[in-house]
Amino acid sequence: MRIVTDPLALRDAISPETTVGFVPTMGYLHEGHLSLVEAAKQENDLVVMSIFVNPTQFGPNEDLDRYPRDFDRDEALAREAGVDILFYPDTTTMYPLDMARVTVRTGADVLCGASRPGHFDGVLTVVSKLFNIVRPTRAYFGLKDAQQVALIEGYVHDYFVPVEIRRCPIIREASGLAKSSRNVYLSESERIEAAEINKALTEAETGLQTGVAVTAVKARLIERLDAIPNSTIDYVEIVDYPTLTEAHDTSQELLIAAAVQFERARLIDNVIWKRG
Ligand code: PAF
């Protein structure tokens, strides 16, 4: 595995005929990231992973400074997983002039975007830069960040970016808790309590499946999540996917999503319910 920090060196390392599977990350790798590498290995000649904690997607009072980082551990995991090139730039490299950024027009004012203003502008800005540097054939994103996936798909469509976006399933612990770099902030009891989020979402999915109205399913979900000790609900939403607009009777896919704040970690999770 090669470690590259310079965009031009990265370009030189990849021949134009090679199919490239790209896994963008902010590091502190877990099984979710490694499953993306596995998917990328299946259908590309070369796998490129990036590790970059992107400052522009963090709000002023968010956890940029204490976001977990451990490059040596990440390097070993990436190597073991079969990554060919690890792109590890610094902030000056990624934001040399910072003259231009991507702005999301629709879909960023709901769910995580409502509580994290500007977050998705930062995500699309850095993803756009990374796509221009890596020029991947396919890029792999986990559905835990379902809103992020929808907005990246929209950006790729709107900007005619020649990359295929692959939606990859959420990887969970045995308890159902979605794997996340931020789980490291949970105490042992919070980790047990946080597993309730997935149970409540699964129950909501069953509700929709059995014909219960969206409003009733949402009310029950709020009740279930409200009962989790030592936590507060940030949001609970059921929206059309991937448009992220209000759920309607003919929606083919509904995103049932929640964010729950524990003492030191804000966790997100979701289920996508497909009609039929
Ligand atoms: O999902 C993430 O880890 C980040 O939002 C991403 C896509 C790497 C952009 O910084």
pLDDT of residue 116: 94
pLDDT of residue 235: 97
**Tokens 């909501």 label which residue?**
204
Domains and CATH numbers, the chain: 2-168 (3.40.50.620), 181-270 (3.30.1300.10)
pLDDT of residue 128: 98
**Tokens 């997935």 label which residue?**
198
Q: Nearest 5°: CA angle at 136, between 135 and 141? A: 130
The ligand 1 atom at the shortest distance from the C-alpha of residue 57 is 10
C-alpha 105/C-alpha 123 separation (Å) is: 13
The ligand 1 atom at the shortest distance from the C-alpha of residue 181 is 3
User: What is the mean pLDDT of each successive set of 10 residues along the chain, which is 276 residues long?
Assistant: 97 94 97 98 98 97 92 98 98 97 97 96 98 98 98 98 98 97 95 98 97 96 97 98 94 97 96 94
| Cβ–Cβ < 8 Å for 175, 192 | yes
pLDDT of residue 276: 82
pLDDT of residue 249: 87
Cβ of 53 below 6 Å from ligand 1:
no
pLDDT of residue 215: 96
Cβ of 126 below 6 Å from ligand 1:
yes
Strand partners, 48: 22, 85
pLDDT of residue 76: 98
Residue nearest to atom 2 of ligand 1 (CA): 25
| Cβ–Cβ < 8 Å for 260, 228 | yes
* Catalytic (active site) residue 30: no
pTM of the full structure: 0.96
Q: Distance, CA 18 to ligand 1 centroid (Å)? A: 24
| Cβ–Cβ < 8 Å for 19, 46 | yes
